[in-house]
Amino acid sequence: MSGSLLTLVVAGVASFFMAWAIGAGSSGSTPFAPAVGANAVSVMRAGFLVGILGFLGATLQGANVSEAVGRELIRNVQLSPLAATTGLLTAAGLVAIGVFTGYPIATAFTVTGAIVGVGLALGGTPAWSKYQQIAALWVATPFVGGGAAYATARFLRSEKVAERVAIPLLGGLVGLIVANIQFVMFGPPGESASLSVAVGNELSLPAVAGIDAGALLTSLVVTAGVAALLRRQLVTDRARGQRRFLLALGGLVAFSAGGSQVGLAIGPLLPLLDPFSIPLTAVLVGGGLGLLAGSWTGAPRMIKALAQDYSALGPRRSIAALIPSFAIAQSAVFFGIPVSFNEIIVSAIVGSGYAASDGGVSGRKMLFTVLAWIASLAIAFGAGYGIFVLINTVAG
């Protein structure tokens, strides 16, 4: 085996370990935590479902974030096999510590910090414009996600709007988002497209005021269909309709988690694959399998921590937490920004929990979690930079 191929194999093993750690922690635990907290699904079943859905999301939506992590965090250099392996192992080690101690470590913080650290140690220059995008999303997420979750929970609790009206309206909003998110299956080779665009192209309706009438009509049909289906379910059996909507939301968030989080594991590998002509789809599948393995073997512990330790959520507050989480996750996937699902979900859980005086939000737990997020970014950056410099010095 040639030296370059051997180093690629070593980096690939590190990437798979990172994918496992993410599946066991961030993408594997957060999507169904509110559903488990609301007793809509068991811990073990949640771990099984999130593994399957995360794998599908990784395969169908993982390209944007993978490219950003692999090629856009550092300028003027290409990550070497040693740099990629060092960054991945550093980040994976920190995430694994979080999994086994019960505190959710923000995976995007650790991977971004480690890759930037090794990239600078390699002689690269900072990609300030990309950092500004990333920082803006990270800072806005607690306020936007938590605020939207709080407002949604208050809307669901309002006596002025009946639940059989409020939930279908929210379901229609979710349907509108689903109709307009990007999938590789709907686009031409090498590109993605939304369901509304794909159907609109088939309908070939004339544009109205510069808007694709076919795409607009498809979006409206999906929105109305989801709302009507939810209303029918709620009229037949309110509790059952709530649980099904909650599980559907958990599934959408799990899918989105796979599409975003797989890039954190396989992104650093992309510059190493260029000489071998390995297709990105094959790498996404491999990363998705790593997420699936982590979800099935390590996620239940973190699901329990998020579902029970942060806030005592009922079905309505769980729905309020998952809707903004899904919207933020898909925005991050669309713009190719690495994002922490722990940050998204925890912020939304806290926001929806504050909508009621009996939300049971643990302030002490939240303080330690935020400190862990900040520390993970700083430690990952310092460790990535220092370890790579040390290895280069010893090898030299």
Mean pLDDT, range 20-27, rounded to an integer? 76
CA dist 61 and 66 (Å) reads 10
Mean pLDDT, range 191-213, rounded to an integer? 84
Please determine, for residue 153, whether its predicted confidence score (pLDDT) is greater than 60: yes
Predicted confidence band of residue 358 (pLDDT cuts 50, 70, 90): low
Exposed/middle/buried for residue 308 (C-beta within 10 Å: 0-12, 13-18, 19+): middle
Tokens read off for 83: 């740099």
Least confident of 69-78, 183-192, 254-263, 334-343: 183-192
91 or 127: which carries more pLDDT confidence?
127
Mapping DSSP onto H, E and C, the string for the chain reads CCHHHHHHHHHHHHHHHHHHHHHHCHHHHCCCHHHHHCCCCCHHHHHHHHHHHHHHHHHHHCHHHHHHHHHCCEECCCCCHHHHHHHHHHHHHHHHHHHHHCCCCCHHHHHHHHHHHHHHHCCCEECHHHHHHHHHHHHHHHHHHHHHHHHHHHHHHCCCCCHHHHHHHHHHHHHHHHHHCEEHHHCCCCCCEEHHHHHHHHHCCCCECCECHHHHHHHHHHHHHHHHHHHHHHHHCHHHHHHHHHHHHHHHHHHHHHHHHHHHHHHHHHHHHHHHCCCHHHHHHHHHHHHHHHHHHHHHHHHHHHHHHCCCCCHHHHHHHHHHHHHHHHHHHHHCCCCCHHHHHHHHHHHHHCCCCCCCCCHHHHHHHHHHHHHHHHHHHHHHHHHHHHHHHHHC
Predicted confidence band of residue 311 (pLDDT cuts 50, 70, 90): very low
Tally of CA atoms within 13 A in the half-sphere of 391 that contains its CB: 16
Q: At what angle do helices 163-180 and 315-335 cross, to 10 degrees?
A: 20
Percent of the chain with pLDDT over 70: 89
Predicted confidence band of residue 368 (pLDDT cuts 50, 70, 90): confident
110 or 46: which carries more pLDDT confidence?
110
Please determine, for residue 172, whether its predicted confidence score (pLDDT) is greater than 90: yes
Mean pLDDT, range 159-188, rounded to an integer? 88
Q: Give the pLDDT score at 102.
A: 60
Please determine, for residue 370, whether its predicted confidence score (pLDDT) is greater than 80: no
Place of tokens 């593994």: 51
Mean pLDDT, range 384-393, rounded to an integer? 89
For 26, 43, 109, 344, the CA distances from 305, given in Å and listed in that order, are 12, 11, 20, 15
Tally of CA atoms within 13 A in the half-sphere of 238 that contains its CB: 8
Q: Give the pLDDT score at 104.
A: 58
Tell me the residue range of the domain where 343 lies. Answer: 3-395
Q: Give the pLDDT score at 396.
A: 61
Least confident of 198-207, 330-339, 353-362: 353-362
Q: Give the pLDDT score at 47.
A: 79
Q: Give the pLDDT score at 375.
A: 84
Please determine, for residue 120, whether its predicted confidence score (pLDDT) is greater than 70: yes
pLDDT tens readout for residues 247-269: 899 889 889 988 888 999 898 88
Residues in the chain: 396
pLDDT, the chain, mean: 83
- Count of structural domains, the chain: 1
Predicted confidence band of residue 75 (pLDDT cuts 50, 70, 90): very high
